[in-house]
Amino acid sequence: MKKFLLQVERNCISGALVLLPLLVFFVLLEKVWKFFQNYGEKFAHFLRLDLFLGKYATDIAGGMILLVLIYLSGFLMRLALLRRFTNWVDDKLMIFLPGYEKNKKEAEEKLNKRKKKPSTDVPILLKNGEFWQPAHLIEEDANGNAVIFVPTAPAKDQGQILIVKSTDFKKLSETTLGSLDASIKSLGKGILSFK
């Protein structure tokens, strides 16, 4: 019975830690949307959009104001003073909102994936004693040295950076980085078929 109660207590605490950041996020989102709806209603009435769009004019105009504000904020972020201020706000939010840092990193990763940056990484297998380990080849020099990144499963973006000889690994020329990363995330499933 004691084990069951401890498990219930752990589950309740874990659930609260998951739900609290989500609740705060949705409350903030609701407040921000109400703010823009208020100005959207005035803007829609000023442009007479409410005559032919009806009750949806408020939402459409508020959304347009929000998008224009986000777009203009992108230009303002180039100013060093504003960048320092937003970094300060981020630091404070990380202290007072549990899970903010993790959610921010996930959002940044998703945005970076959309930008589709060209990658110079090459999937490889690193010789490590008697076994081979999946890794990314970052760069090579003319002296036969190479910088590689060895991810720690299941996180594809955490691991070790090593400098090795070019003879200590083999390139997987028929394998993409995406399939290597997916295999690392699934704890090695599918690596045996890589070439």
| Percent of the residues in the chain that have a pLDDT greater than 70, as a whole number | 92
Q: What is the pLDDT of residue 114?
A: 64
Percent of the chain exceeding pLDDT 90 equals: 0
pLDDT tens for 133-148 read 888 888 888 888 889 8
Task: Evaluate if residue 17 carries a pLDDT over 60.
Answer: yes
Distance CA(178)–CA(185), nearest Å, equals 10
Q: Output the average pLDDT for the chain.
A: 79
d(CA 57, CA 72): 22
Contact (Cβ atoms closer than 8 angstroms) between residue 158 and residue 136: no
| Res 174: pLDDT | 76
Nearest residue to 125 via CA among 168, 179, 178, 68? 168
Phi/psi for 53 (5° steps) reads -100, -15
> Using CA atoms, how far apart are residues 89 and 98, in angstroms rounded to an integer?
14
pLDDT digits (tens, 9 = 90+) for 57-67: 888 888 888 88
> Helix, strand, or coil here: 14?
helix
Is there a contact between 172 and 125 (Cβ–Cβ < 8 Å)? yes
Residue 11, pLDDT > 60, answer yes
Given a cut of 50, is residue 46 above it in pLDDT?
yes
Is residue 145 classed as helix, strand or coil in its secondary structure?
strand
pLDDT of residue 117: 46
pLDDT value at position 118?
Answer: 44
Q: Report the pLDDT averaged over residues 165-175.
A: 83
- Which domains does the chain show, CATH number per domain? 2-115 (no CATH), 122-193 (2.30.30)
